[in-house]
Amino acid sequence: MGNQVINKVVYIIVAIFFGSLGVHRLLIGKTVSAIFMFLFCWTGIPTIVMIFDVIVAAGMPTDSQGNIRFNY
């Protein structure tokens, strides 16, 4: 926990297609926020969070293999 590495393209694609359900948060180990996104997916709020997450991930620098690192 605290330092997750995932491919940038994979993360963004999963976030776009399944982000409103919180699946992209599960990939980086944020289980609690993923559960809340799933529970409130009918409100549209997770869609706004997903758009924000995609924009932030798109701007993150990658390593030589195209991976991004999430530190929390």
Q: Report if residue 56 sits inside a domain.
A: yes
Q: Report if residue 9 sits inside a domain.
A: yes
Q: Report if residue 70 sits inside a domain.
A: no
Segments in the chain forming alpha helices (H)? 8-18, 23-27, 31-39, 45-59
pLDDT in tens, 25-64: 999 999 999 999 999 999 999 999 999 999 999 999 999 9
pLDDT in tens, 1-31: 568 899 999 999 999 999 999 999 999 999 9
In this prediction, residue 71 has a pLDDT band, given cuts at 50, 70 and 90, of confident
Q: Report if residue 69 sits inside a domain.
A: no
Q: Report if residue 12 sits inside a domain.
A: yes
- Which domain covers residue 46, as residue numbers? 3-64
Q: Name the β-bridge partners of 7.
A: 67
Q: Report if residue 72 sits inside a domain.
A: no
| Number of domains present in the structure of the chain | 1
The SS3 assignment for 8 reads helix
Q: Report if residue 22 sits inside a domain.
A: yes
Q: Report if residue 60 sits inside a domain.
A: yes
Task: Look at residue 68 and tell me whether its pLDDT is greater than 90.
Answer: yes
pTM: 0.88
